Amino acid sequence: MLRAESTWLDQLRRRGDDVQNTRVLVACSGGGDSTALLVFLWGVRRSLKLDLVVAHADHGLRPEAQEDADFVRDLCRHLDLDLAEASLDVRRHAREQGIGLETAARELRWEWLKAEAASIGAEAIATGHTLDDHTETVFIRLARGGGLGALTPLPARQAHRWSPLIEARREELRDYLRQKKIPWREDATNEEGFTPRNRWRALLEGIRAEAPTLDDHLWETHSQIAELVTFREAQVAATKGLRWQIQDDGLHLKGTFEEVELRWILEAAFRQADWPREAEFLRDLAAWLRPHLGRKSRKPKTWGSWSLEPAVDGWAWSLTKISREIATTSPSPT
């Protein structure tokens, strides 16, 4: 076993990816990332007791698609693995749904992969996401205002999707293939700036020159944030039914709260009630609520389309919306 294979195997075991003794559908486009993924999983299949099946989709967008498919077929014959193939009409889906080609391709591909996994009894769909992909996604989401969630976008295991090489750098995968003397296909469109990811990929080259360990540091930050989010959710869940709960007449709050604690509760409660959860709105609402919850006055208060009223039992306050439209901006209190 090569050192890289041993390292990646240790990483997925340390993370607790929980994928072994099972059938795995491996998505392979023929590019460097997915080819390295397939070769790696084939190399450790006995260690993890995996039954591998390969999936390749032709999106109908590139003239080289047939050559990509031929490459994947040859690789599967060499590895003695079954291959499932599909031709996806991405342009039609994009036109019908009014979405971009990248989004349309992702939607159709994932829909097909899930259906194929279900048909063969695969419990996981392996994808070639790398540490570079994680970093790019962080910056894309931060630029869009993703907040805390922007730092935890690509877990190694999420439902059916499994990314065994999420902690590996893209260039490491190509070095691995060179060591194995296995070629791969290059998608020239990855260098074109028509998608946000491609534009960020180019920008990050200069940033990495200044900060070579950027990707590793972001992953460590991701890990720490994930732990804090888990702790926060456990704390909020422990007070549900005791200090807060959603009922038909709104959100019931008992006692006083620190502002950050109240903000966490509002986010959890609004998620349960399927109400808007914009960060700025919840921050302003928590700042308005907190002093009122600590007062003895039983006089109702209003804030935009929200009303804070004493509950019938006399010990809690009930927060309810008083108009059909839920406010997501910060109104003036009354």
Token pair listed for 198: 């491609």
CA 206 to chain centre: 25
Average pLDDT, the chain: 89
Task: Tell me which of 333 and 207 has the higher pLDDT.
Answer: 207
Among positive and negative, which fits the CA dihedral 246, 251, 255, 260? positive
What is the structure's pLDDT at 326?
Answer: 44
Contact of 174 with 220, CB cutoff 8 Å:
no
Contact of 282 with 148, CB cutoff 8 Å:
no
User: In which residue ranges of the chain is CATH 3.40.50.620 found?
Assistant: 3-224
The residue type at 191? E
Q: What is the CA radius of gyration of the chain?
A: 25
pLDDT band at 327 (very low <50, low <70, confident <90, very high): very low
pLDDT in tens, 156-192: 999 999 999 999 999 999 999 999 999 999 877 666 7
Contact of 170 with 32, CB cutoff 8 Å:
yes
C-alpha–C-alpha distance, residues 42 and 36, integer Å:
10
Prediction pTM value: 0.82
What is the structure's pLDDT at 277?
Answer: 78
What is the structure's pLDDT at 121?
Answer: 97
131-143 helix and 196-210 helix, angle to the nearest 10 degrees: 110
DSSP 143-162: HTT-GGGGGS---SEETTEE
Q: For residue 63, how many other CB atoms are within 10 A of its CB? A: 6
What is the structure's pLDDT at 149?
Answer: 76
C-alpha–C-alpha distance, residues 86 and 93, integer Å:
15
C-alpha–C-alpha distance, residues 26 and 84, integer Å:
10
pLDDT band at 259 (very low <50, low <70, confident <90, very high): very high
How far are the Cα atoms of 216, 231, 269 from residue 220, in angstroms, in the given order? 6, 17, 29
User: Looking at domain 240-321, which CATH architecture does it have?
Assistant: 2-Layer Sandwich (3.30)
User: In which residue ranges of the chain is CATH 3.30.465 found?
Assistant: 240-321
Give domain 3-224's CATH number out of 1.10.3080.10, 3.90.1210.10, 3.40.50.620, 3.40.50.300. Answer: 3.40.50.620
pLDDT band at 316 (very low <50, low <70, confident <90, very high): low
pLDDT in tens, 260-315: 999 999 999 999 988 877 888 899 999 999 988 877 777 888 888 888 888 766 55
Give the mean model confidence (pLDDT) for residues 214-218. Answer: 94
DSSP 272-324: HHT----HHHHHHHHHHHHHHHT------EEETTEEEEE-TTSSEEEEEE-SS
